Amino acid sequence: MERSPQPGISSSTPLRSQVEATAALCALIELPALRALRTALLPAELYLVGGTVRDAFYGESGTDLDLATNLTTTEIKARCVKHNIRTVDTGIQHGTILLVIDQVHIEVTTFRVPSGRAGHTTAHDIATDLSGRDFTINAIAFDLSTKTLVDPINGVADLASNTLRTVGAATERLTEDPLRILRMVRFGSAQGREIEAATLRAASAHVQLLGQVSVERIKSELEQILLSPFPQAGIACIKELGALPLTIPELIPAIGFEQNRFHIHDVFDHTLWVLERTPVDLILRWAAVFHDIGKPHTLSVDEDGSRHFYQHEIVSERLARERMQQLRFSRDDTETIALLVRHHMRPLDCGAPGVRRLIRDLGESLVRWRSFKEADASPAIPEAEFRPTANAFDALLQSEQTRMRGPSYGKLAISGTDLIALGMQPGPAMGVLLKELEELVLDDPARNDLGILLVEAKKRGWAL
């Protein structure tokens, strides 16, 4: 089945020249918020740094604005107060002040000497500050005074060659903050860049240090990997590094685990296949990661050698919930992802009653579920076979959604009051009977008539 191109900044995005990137950054600093900031802080040394500068080479305007300066946090705050700019001390222990100008958030950090995340020692120049950045492609600055690029570590050359390498000694940079191992995955494999050999070796050698990183930071970096242009390559890199036990250990049993005749991949590679085909939607991409993790735990083999994974979706949901709890997902995200995992085996070839049940069971998540079914379509099934089934489902869904606009849609014609009038006592049995009658109506909406349902209720007895 053909794969749609994935949006986002990656090594496959054409790289702009330095002249073009500089022009884009010159335009950026003329935004009202940055003009106000320049008025407040110049003629101090002031540089755009990090992702905003890197992304200018790909024609993207960064929304997270980071600047570096020779001013201390005290000086930054004093100048901002003078110009009525709101400041927030959220990162002051790291030498960072958050400025809020016309609802635009800008972080300004005092130059610092290379050190671990917990420390902050002031430096005196931008070159020293850049020498402590994580990767060369993130160690390019833009001088707001001279409107020129500052690139002492050849980050632009690494952008051009699609290479990710650390600034300076790889071991030193990665051990200063072990989360940089996952950042390496994000800026490297997940964005289509080749990771330089020494950087990759250092990451593999020190991968266990990820155990020192908070789950919140791990989760945030995993999500940015999943939202990258090549999330499947990112997860594959995490596996090769030996980092799955410290990130998504539920995927480990999937590695090399054979499926059945309906699949050409093992469970892990199938997960990557689905992830690659899933739209850029964080909920869907987490669902792709989790949807088959229950298979290794539910294997049964027939006498003829056929392999089955009955109710693996139930086990997958349970394991997914446990992982999401440990990674501290929100309740809403947990429930939505779990819902998609639990129902991912429901077929498209389900007829009108099946469509009505999917609408009932999935609610607003039905659109995501339909998208996931596209991504999860087996590569062993030809497109010519899959497409008619998908189109038939879509037609039934559209027809049902048209019917849903009717005033009586979704309201069962019979109620508990009607059953009491027949002589039925309130209690759990009444709920079971109403559920059975609802299923009848889902099979045939024409039966949603009080007289018909009263007859059906009498047929079933239920202590009337």
For every residue of 229-267, DSSP letters joined together read: S-HHHHHHHHHHHT-GGGT-GGGGGGTT----TT-SS-H
Last residue of a domain, one of 144, 161, 178: 161
Q: Residue 398, SS3?
A: helix
Instruction: Look up residue 359 and give its amino acid.
Output: I
Cα separation, 280 vs 227, in Å, equals 6
* Number of structural domains the chain divides into: 4
pLDDT at residue number 306? 81
- Reported as a pLDDT band with limits 50, 70 and 90, residue 408 is low
CB 231 within 8 A of CB 190: yes
Indicate if 298 and 392 belong to the same structural domain.
Answer: yes
CATH number of the domain at 207, please: 1.10.110.30
pLDDT at residue number 2? 34
pLDDT at residue number 387? 94
Residue 285 forms part of a structural domain: yes
Residue 390 forms part of a structural domain: yes
- Reported as a pLDDT band with limits 50, 70 and 90, residue 7 is very low
Per-residue pLDDT tens digits for 242-266: 999 999 999 999 999 887 776 678 8
**Residues 256-277, mean pLDDT to the nearest whole number:** 87
Residue 252 forms part of a structural domain: no
Indicate if 387 and 442 belong to the same structural domain.
Answer: no
CB 260 within 8 A of CB 270: no
Indicate if 136 and 233 belong to the same structural domain.
Answer: no
CATH number of the domain at 103, please: 3.30.460.10
Cα separation, 268 vs 399, in Å, equals 37
- Reported as a pLDDT band with limits 50, 70 and 90, residue 88 is very high
pLDDT at residue number 379? 81
Query: What range defines the domain where residue 446 resides?
Result: 416-459
Last residue of a domain, one of 161, 196, 227: 161
pLDDT of residue 4 exceeding 50, the answer is no
CA distances from residue 249 to 60, 211, 255, 324 in whole angstroms, order as listed: 35, 13, 11, 12
pLDDT of residue 124 exceeding 70, the answer is yes
- Reported as a pLDDT band with limits 50, 70 and 90, residue 119 is low
Residue 271 forms part of a structural domain: no
Indicate if 190 and 312 belong to the same structural domain.
Answer: no
**Residues 76-96, mean pLDDT to the nearest whole number:** 91
Say which residue, 36 or 116, is predicted with more confidence: 36
Given its phi and psi angles, is residue 96 left (phi above 0), alpha (psi -120 to 50 degrees) or beta? beta
pLDDT of residue 5 exceeding 70, the answer is no
pLDDT at residue number 464? 57
pLDDT of residue 274 exceeding 90, the answer is yes
Residue 449 forms part of a structural domain: yes
pLDDT of residue 461 exceeding 80, the answer is no
Residue 175 forms part of a structural domain: yes
Across the chain, what does the average pLDDT equal?
Answer: 91
pLDDT at residue number 11? 63
pLDDT of residue 155 exceeding 90, the answer is yes
CB 67 within 8 A of CB 107: yes
pTM: 0.88
Residue 7 forms part of a structural domain: no
Indicate if 155 and 187 belong to the same structural domain.
Answer: no
Indicate if 238 and 284 belong to the same structural domain.
Answer: no
Range with lowest mean pLDDT among 59-63, 360-364, 389-393: 59-63
Indicate if 52 and 144 belong to the same structural domain.
Answer: yes
Indicate if 83 and 154 belong to the same structural domain.
Answer: yes
pLDDT of residue 140 exceeding 90, the answer is yes
Indicate if 103 and 217 belong to the same structural domain.
Answer: no
Per-residue pLDDT tens digits for 281-335: 999 999 999 999 999 999 888 888 788 888 999 999 999 999 999 999 999 999 9
pLDDT at residue number 118? 62
Indicate if 325 and 444 belong to the same structural domain.
Answer: no
Per-residue pLDDT tens digits for 40-53: 999 999 999 999 99
Last residue of a domain, one of 141, 161, 181: 161
Per-residue pLDDT tens digits for 159-182: 999 999 999 999 999 999 999 999
pLDDT at residue number 115? 73
Residue 255 forms part of a structural domain: no
Indicate if 196 and 229 belong to the same structural domain.
Answer: yes
Q: pLDDT exceeding 70 applies to what percent of the chain?
A: 94
CA distances from residue 435 to 226, 311, 348, 448 in whole angstroms, order as listed: 40, 23, 24, 13
Range with lowest mean pLDDT among 20-24, 209-213, 405-409, 456-460: 405-409
Range with lowest mean pLDDT among 59-63, 153-157, 196-200, 341-345: 59-63
Indicate if 343 and 313 belong to the same structural domain.
Answer: yes
